[in-house]
Structure 1
Amino acid sequence: MKEGFKVLSLSYKKAPVEIREILSIDDTLAKVFLAEFNQIAEANDLLILSTCNRTEIYYSADRDLSLEIISFLGTKKGLNNPSQYLQYFDSILHADAAAEYLFRVSMGLEAQVVGDLQIINQIKRAYQLSADAHLAGPFLHRLMHTIFFANKRVVQETAFRDGAASVSYATAELVKTLAQGFIDAKVLVMGLGEIGEDLAKNLAETSFTVNLTNRTDEKLEEVAANCGLPTISFEGIKEHLSDFDIVISSIPVKDFIDIQDLKTIPDNGLKYFIDLSIPRSISPAIEAITGVNLYNIDEIQDKTSQAVQKRINAIPEVEAIVKESMSEFNDWSREMEVSPTIHKLKNALEEIRQEELKKHLKNVSPEIEAFADKFSKSITNKIMKLPVLQLKAACQRGEAETLIDVLNDLFNLEKDPVKE
């Protein structure tokens, strides 16, 4: 495993929604972070993951950069004393543990709702941003593709991805429960990002009325057509909030709905608001209105259902796949450590081969020269085979460093070509 791979993590396990929304990183800030952080401290394999439930920075560096990361994030977000938030973060400084944690997050094992389907797409998006910024080196590229293959195995070999055990699924279950308290419940889904779109799909087959709205009409029309649900214009949407019994928002605009927007709601009216956004799009102040109830993303609990239980039962299978994938990745990582030595040894033998050919093939025919070249290459390839096999075997035993030193001494692989 490459030394120096680390993660600084803030998640729902330790930080409440109020803290997570302060420290959330949208795509714009992520791009700035990737472009500018190396001016503060040197890091590579930089990956920034920010979802409703977590803000995590994965990176490779010689030392712990937690303070620098939090300070940089605080500066960009205009926080007066960013160090006060350090208590909400966890640092994983051992490379093996950090890589395994990224595996677990990607599979949905660390999700608030076990097996969350959105997380793997969010991981892919974070990886794309890192690659676009040229901050994903061979280590991160290999790690991410190993994770994606492991995820494919989880889908194909286990029941962990069956059903729709995600934040949107848990929300749909809650909405169905709340709707039972109304004769003909009217539901509004605001915002059709990944969570909103998935929620719309989960609510498409219900018996009550579900309306969709979104800031962009193109996306609204697309989702509405796919789900067979009616729409309402986003323009002036706040004026129509009182028409609905249950309002779900996944619009990442802080306090988009405030108490002032609900003045038309009767005091004796029963209303439910569900906020799936970070930052929170619905102000907690609205609960001061009689009859109004607000659920935020931390209160969307894992619903006991057959699909969720199947996922819980499948966790040991998923963890076994993670363990196997980590073992394969560690094998590759260890072999990468000896790759420079193998390359140097090949170059050393090729240099000897070329020198001998020049010495012994003066004034020979092209046919003899071609034969000698082919024959000598065959010999050097056979000579290379055993050291390469032994190096790879030493990798598995954790003894590669000793053999590398022996080969360096035998073939003078560390020689300085400038001095020769």
Structure 2
Amino acid sequence: MYGYFKAISISHKKASLHIREQIALNEEECKNLMLKIRETFDVSETLVLSTCNRTEIYYYSEKNISEDIVRLLASLKVLNSNEILPYFDFIDDHSEAVNYLFEVAVGLQSQVVGDLQIPNQVKHAYQWAADVQMAGPFLHRLLHTIFFTNKRIVQETGFRDGAASTSYATVEVLESFLPMLSNPKILVVGLGEIGEDVCRTLADKNYQNITITNRTRSKAETLAQELGFMVSDFQTVNEQILEADIVISSVRVEEPFITKNSLKHKSLSVKYLIDLSVPRSIAPDVEELAGVVSYDLDEIQLRANAALQRRLDAIPDVKRIIGAAIGELNNWSQEMIVSPTIQKLKNALEQIRKEEMARFVKDLSAEEAEKVEKITASMMQKVIKLPVLQLKAACKRGEAETLIDVLNDLFNLEKQTV
């Protein structure tokens, strides 16, 4: 009779990176999956969100086809569905699924609470759904409500303040001295998880003149091609460090390889060094050299932890704003259920009015007929006003279906078309 919203999720909470990589979908694959869902299950509203930490499918349907959708996804990715099913979470309750998408979209469910990238990732997913005509009335209303809620959270809380991840905190430190440099050369040494995250954060912020180097050159070349960066050979890393204005090092070494001795031939300009390695790859005493400014991982993480605490403190306010938005969405959703009945009732009463007008208007002059038309049309508006108000009130009480059945019986609305 009516559809309900459901969510399917595989995320960092239950699945390792190795598993998530196998499930991850690019734009073309997301669109293809949505089209396959429509073709296979006759579902007209679907949203597919795929990031490094999660792949999720949201759909609006009368039936519960969540496991079937996972099996469809597995077939498209050429995976054994029985092996990947245990990693998925299924949210079948409409209200819980709606609340979950809100929390995902604002960053409450992110690995780094308040993730700054997730709102744009959700916007892209919504655009892809619209591109393939899989965003119907419910998804349109839901996503626009979420986007408005995100704006309120930014404006009214501290949930988006500061950099709550190591990579964002690193770039935040870098941004504190960038205005003092003219088109600085930035070198990223090492492409472990943190190094790669820093590169992606720099790319998201559209920074240029960035070179990356890594022991495994092929990994550096792949990332550089994706992000539009330059690559240097790791064998020449010492020379690259001397030429760079900013060095971000996350390479794993047993003892520091950036030392006072390795920097003794640096240029006279100021050099900024950021060490994200454990053990440290930059010797603590390099700051004894004139023109060298160094930050270690502890300093970076202090910034990240402070920002994270501000976000955690703001969570109650974020949930309050989400609750208010969901309340308004539920009111609209309930009214959407009774809209066809309201329209059928209007059509039924209008048909009665026109039939009665047809019986008498032939005996009236044009002027008289016009007056009667206005009078009867006005009467019909007043007659229908109370049933419409009662229907909307019944929605808020959760009693709409009972009143719909009564109106259907009284006015034989089943024969009416919307």
Coarse TM-score class (shorter-chain normalised): 0.7 to 0.9
Query: Counterparts of 1:375-394 in structure 2 under 5 Å?
Result: 375-394=375-394
**2: distance between equivalents of 1:349 and 1:101?**
42
SS of equivalent residue, structure 1 residue 322: helix
1:240 Cα deviation from its structure 2 partner:
5.8
Query: Counterparts of 1:6-45 in structure 2 under 5 Å?
Result: 6-45=6-45
Residue 233 of structure 1, aligned match among 227, 230, 234: 230
**2: distance between equivalents of 1:350 and 1:399?**
26
What residue in structure 2 maps to residue 105 of structure 1?
104
**2: distance between equivalents of 1:61 and 1:341?**
20
SS of equivalent residue, structure 2 residue 83: helix
**2: distance between equivalents of 1:65 and 1:174?**
47
Superposition TM-score, scaled by structure 1 size: 0.73
Maintained 8 Å contact 2:167/2:197: no
What residue in structure 1 maps to residue 138 of structure 2?
139
Maintained 8 Å contact 2:8/2:90: yes
Query: Counterparts of 1:42-81 in structure 2 under 5 Å?
Result: 42-79=42-79, 81=80
Maintained 8 Å contact 1:67/1:83: no
Query: Counterparts of 1:352-367 in structure 2 under 5 Å?
Result: 352-367=352-367
What residue in structure 2 maps to residue 338 of structure 1?
338
SS of equivalent residue, structure 1 residue 59: strand
SS of equivalent residue, structure 1 residue 124: helix
**Unmatched runs of 5 consecutive residues or more in structure 1:** 177-184, 205-209, 221-231, 249-261, 272-289, 293-299
- Judging changes above 3 Å, is the alpha-carbon distance between structure 1 residues 8 and 129 closer, same or farther for their aligned structure 2 residues? same
**2: distance between equivalents of 1:395 and 1:169?**
45
Q: RCO (CA 8 Å, sep 6+): is it higher in 1 or 2?
A: 1
**2: distance between equivalents of 1:302 and 1:373?**
75
| Deviation string, structure 1 residues 12-40 (Cα, Å, up to 9, x no partner) | 11111111111111112112212223333
- Judging changes above 3 Å, is the alpha-carbon distance between structure 1 residues 301 and 326 closer, same or farther for their aligned structure 2 residues? farther
Query: Counterparts of 1:249-328 in structure 2 under 5 Å?
Result: 304-328=304-328
1:9 Cα deviation from its structure 2 partner:
0.3
**2: distance between equivalents of 1:5 and 1:240?**
55
Is residue 129 of structure 1 aligned with residue 128 of structure 2? yes
| Deviation string, structure 1 residues 51-89 (Cα, Å, up to 9, x no partner) | 11111111123333233222222222232x232011111
Aligned amino acid, residue 105 of structure 2 = S
| Deviation string, structure 1 residues 265-321 (Cα, Å, up to 9, x no partner) | 9997759xxxxxxxxxxxxxxxxxx999xxxxxxx9997533221111110000001
1:4 Cα deviation from its structure 2 partner:
2.8
What residue in structure 1 maps to residue 270 of structure 2?
none
Maintained 8 Å contact 1:2/1:333: no
Is residue 413 of structure 1 aligned with residue 413 of structure 2? yes
SS of equivalent residue, structure 1 residue 91: strand
What residue in structure 1 maps to residue 289 of structure 2?
none
Maintained 8 Å contact 2:164/2:305: no
Bigger Rg, structure 1 or 2 = 2
**2: distance between equivalents of 1:165 and 1:66?**
34
Maintained 8 Å contact 1:159/1:311: yes
Maintained 8 Å contact 1:186/1:246: yes
What residue in structure 2 maps to residue 372 of structure 1?
372
**2: distance between equivalents of 1:330 and 1:305?**
36
**1: distance between equivalents of 2:350 and 2:98?**
37
SS of equivalent residue, structure 1 residue 414: helix
Maintained 8 Å contact 2:347/2:416: no
**2: distance between equivalents of 1:348 and 1:307?**
60
- Judging changes above 3 Å, is the alpha-carbon distance between structure 1 residues 216 and 15 closer, same or farther for their aligned structure 2 residues? closer
SS of equivalent residue, structure 2 residue 159: coil
**1: distance between equivalents of 2:26 and 2:57?**
13
Aligned amino acid, residue 396 of structure 1 = K
- Judging changes above 3 Å, is the alpha-carbon distance between structure 1 residues 383 and 154 closer, same or farther for their aligned structure 2 residues? same
**2: distance between equivalents of 1:397 and 1:12?**
39
**Unmatched runs of 5 consecutive residues or more in structure 2:** 176-185, 190-194, 213-222, 242-246, 259-278, 282-299
**1: distance between equivalents of 2:76 and 2:302?**
34
RMSD of aligned alpha carbons: 3.6
